Amino acid sequence: MKVLLSSRYSRVGASSRLRSYQYLPYLEEHGIDVTVFPLLGDDYLACLYSNNRKDLRSVAFSCLRRCCNLLKSRSFDLVWIEKEAFPWLPAWAEIALSRFGIPYIVDYDDAIFHRYDQNLRKVVRTFLGNKIAMIMRHADAVIVGNNYLAEYAVCAGAQRVEFIPTVIDLNRYSIKERTKAVELRVGWIGSPQTAKYLNLVKPAIRRLYNEGNVSFSLVGSGQIDMDGVPMSILPWSEETEVDHIQDFDIGIMPLPDSPWERGKCGYKLIQYMACGKPVVASSVGANRKIVEHGVNGFLAGSTEEWLQALTVLRDNPDLREKMGTAGRKKVEEKYCIQVTARRLLSIIQSVGKNYS
């Protein structure tokens, strides 16, 4: 069976790496021949993460290249699209695939429909506000990473909606006993684009720091001011991310309760839990499903709730270990490719036009 994967990025891009690339070896082992055509190059990602201006000529060339690649879709049994074929353009490509009888599945791990339907510019809302709903409606299957996205797909009229969370590979993640240290280490992993969410916990972090015996590590954040609280800023790489998380004592994931954030899939929580770390997270979106309050971590809203959760974990090493063990168990049962790969394979096989 031949599949054309139209990903957003190369495997350097987190969403592409986690939602598609990490599954490719398993799919190929089971007779799925996947040809990958990413839309945007690594130079675009470098500009995105450094907040530099994007090269519009390069983006235009990328779109032209995708047009050429999609013209080859007739020679494939299935087209697998990450989010949308062409950002900021109408759903012409997806509609064309449907009308020519070429089956496609589309995958979402973010509420990208809000980039259009809640855009500040009226022209975008008018012409693109219903774009993602249209893509979902024409797709043979819509794969989503959380319930918020699933509800949108159902309301959009998608004929088939499948839930696959954003997960880790158990072969890469393990529990490593941390060397006994005087200081508790609270950690966060993300990107410069998501580091803004740390502002929500600045007051709690400041108060915890003032009480002493605690340090903070931020992986992938870039430079950030945390009201003078010293931070160990570590660069992110695929090769070192697990090692950095293994050095945490507690993993945190603050999020505001807004439409875009409700569409997030809680991946960093799964990373922490896979390494046997207790978590503290905002009670938003997928976080509520991943975190069992008082079992594998705590859900927190106010500054007082954040401070209380972090303080309880700081003062109870046995509780940290117990919650970390519970978190790892949940990942092994629900949030790893060893579980979800079979489901993805089944979806692809059932949608592909020539599979028998």
Tens of pLDDT, residue by residue over 103-131, are: 999 999 999 999 999 999 999 999 999 99
What does the pLDDT look like over 283-338, one tens digit per residue? 999 999 999 999 999 999 999 999 999 999 999 999 999 999 999 999 999 999 99
What rounded mean pLDDT belongs to the chain? 93
pLDDT digits (tens, 9 = 90+) for 117-172: 999 999 999 999 999 999 999 999 999 999 999 999 999 999 999 999 999 999 99
Q: Which residue has the higher pLDDT, 55 or 176?
A: 176
Domains and CATH numbers, the chain: 2-167+337-351 (3.40.50.2000), 184-334 (3.40.50.2000)
Instruction: For residue range 183-201, list pLDDT tens digits in order.
Output: 899 999 999 989 999 999 9
Rounded to an integer, the average pLDDT of 29-43 is 90
Query: What is the reported pTM?
Result: 0.92
Q: Tens of pLDDT along 333-352?
A: 999 999 999 999 999 999 98
pLDDT for the residue 262 = 94
User: What percentage of the chain exceeds 90 in pLDDT?
Assistant: 84
CA distance 194 to 206: 20
